[in-house]
Structure 1
Amino acid sequence: MPQPTEITVHQFSRMLEVAFDDGARFQIPFELMRVYSPSAEVMGHGPGQETLQTGKRDVQMLGLEPVGHYAVRPAFSDGHDSGLFTWDYLYRLGRDQAQLWADYEARLAAAGVTRDTPMPAPAAGCTSH
């Protein structure tokens, strides 16, 4: 799998630019990274347990921490910081972003919400999904 040669956080355009040693270069929107975060909070613990993320259009990246030689952990302005983005996963987000956006828009439409709908507050006393 290609390895990153350059990673640049573009705060103004809210994009993570990643260049790989195979010549590929991607600009990945922070919003796409946030709604497809590979964390249990977003992806759940198995198929069908995903939590649809909304209201993330203006999310900022507050930090980007390296994790070993295989991943980065972004800290987002909504407090989310538990997703480990491996090089393979970042490559897939960049390469497949058109399809991922289409899938996301379809899931939003199916749920009757938009990208800008605020995330619902957790139910009082609710500790499970």
Structure 2
Amino acid sequence: MNSSNPSPANPIPTGLTVHTQSRLLEVAFDDGAGFSLPYELLRVYSPSAEVRGHGAGQEVLQTGMRNILITALEPVGNYAVQPHFSDGHNTGIYTWAYLYWLGVNQEQLWEDYLQRLDEAGHGREAGRDLPMTASGGHCH
């Protein structure tokens, strides 16, 4: 990673804050962008093979993640973090670029997730709740 020329394709975080009560991972980047990423979003879009599969069309819909917690957040070199979730999942490595991408696209990703849950006949235990923008979204 070239730290002298950061860009959205090469973001460098300036802060990571785990908020247990609100279940949000707050990530600030050196380009001024900042995101509050819900644990549920992080868990259902884990970059692990367990969630993504090994190719297009092999993704596994994650259900029952509404109350998921991050129990630990470990650094991976100087390019990523590896969250440990309360359901035992800990194989996803979230690069800085992937966290940035999740932040930029979280509203659409959230709607896609809710639609996939609906299509599969699953809810989030109490319905659709508030849209992502009410609990997440951008912070500056």
Same fold (TM over 0.5): yes
The Cα of 1:47 is off from its aligned counterpart by 0.6
> Once the two structures are superposed, what CA deviation does each residue of 1:55-81 show, in whole Å capped at 9, x if it has no partner?
001001000000011110000000000
> Once the two structures are superposed, what CA deviation does each residue of 1:2-50 show, in whole Å capped at 9, x if it has no partner?
2100000000100000000000010000000000000011000001111
Q: Which amino acid aligns with 1:55?
A: G
Of structures 1 and 2, the one scoring higher in RCO (CA 8 A, sep 6+) is 2
TM-score by length of 2: 0.81
Q: Which residue in 1 is equivalent to 2:97?
A: 88
- From 68, 78, 82, the counterpart of 1:73: 82
Q: Aligned partners of 1:63, 1:114: CA distance in 2, in Å? A: 27
Q: Aligned partners of 2:98, 2:72: CA distance in 1, in Å? A: 18
Q: Which residue in 2 is equivalent to 1:57?
A: 66
Runs of 5+ unmatched residues, structure 2: 1-9, 127-140
How many residue pairs align between the two structures?
117
Q: Aligned partners of 1:18, 1:48: CA distance in 2, in Å? A: 30
CA RMSD for the aligned pairs? Answer: 1.1
| 4+ residue runs over 3 A deviation | none
Q: Percent identity?
A: 63
Q: Give secondary structure in 2 for the equivalent of 1:28.
A: strand
1:15 aligns with 2:29: no
Runs of 5+ unmatched residues, structure 1: 118-129
Q: Which residue in 1 is equivalent to 2:47?
A: 38
